[in-house]
């Protein structure tokens, strides 16, 4: 159910290594819990983010939640499509619903994140 190539945080963000960069978004589980996402506030390019520190906010019809970076580094790209179409987070959280692309300071931080099976266990689902 959760892509095996991704790593997962306890705050329900995913991290995908793409060469020397890391793409970040929220999990399908988080998107489903939020229900209809109506607004996403993301940082500007060039902003430094810290491991498990807030980097933005996501708002749904049910709640407003902080977004936490699963890696420290510099934001090198931002998914500006989410400004006009935040609902993409619900329909495609692992694809078009990505949020930021980070140039990591220390890629060893990824080792602190969970595998897909560990994440599924944490949220009370059996592994894929």
pLDDT digits (tens, 9 = 90+) for 7-40: 999 999 999 999 999 999 999 999 999 999 999 9
Assigned domain for 112 exists: no
In contact, 21 and 103? CB cutoff 8 Å: yes
Assigned domain for 74 exists: yes
What is the residue range of 98's domain?
7-106
Assigned domain for 101 exists: yes
Assigned domain for 128 exists: no
As for how many domains the chain has, the answer is: 1
Assigned domain for 1 exists: no
pLDDT digits (tens, 9 = 90+) for 55-99: 999 999 999 999 999 999 999 999 999 999 999 999 999 999 999
Average pLDDT, the chain: 96
Question: By three-state DSSP, how is residue 41 classified?
Answer: strand
Our CA dihedral for 77, 81, 83, 89, rounded to 10 degrees, sits at: -100
Q: What is the pLDDT of residue 128?
A: 46
CATH of the domain at 58: 2.40.50.100
Assigned domain for 124 exists: no
DSSP string for residues in 61-89: SS-EEEEE-SS-EEEEEE-THHHH-TTHH
Assigned domain for 87 exists: yes
Q: What is the pLDDT of residue 120?
A: 96
Q: Does pLDDT of 127 surpass 80?
A: no
């Amino acid at each position: 159910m959760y892509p095996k190539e991704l790593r997962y945080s306890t705050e329900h963000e995913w991290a995908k290594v793409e060469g020397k960069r890391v793409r970040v978004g929220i999990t399908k589980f988080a998107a489903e819990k939020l229900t209809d996402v109506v607004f996403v506030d993301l940082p500007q390019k060039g902003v430094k983010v810290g491991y498990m520190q807030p980097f933005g906010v996501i708002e749904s019809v049910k709640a407003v939640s902080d977004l936490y970076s699963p890696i420290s580094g510099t934001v090198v790209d931002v998914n500006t499509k989410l400004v006009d179409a935040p609902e993409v987070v619900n329909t495609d959280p692992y694809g078009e619903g990505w949020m930021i692309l980070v140039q990591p300071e220390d890629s060893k931080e990824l080792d602190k994140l969970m595998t897909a099976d560990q994440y599924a266990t944490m949220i009370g689902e059996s592994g894929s």
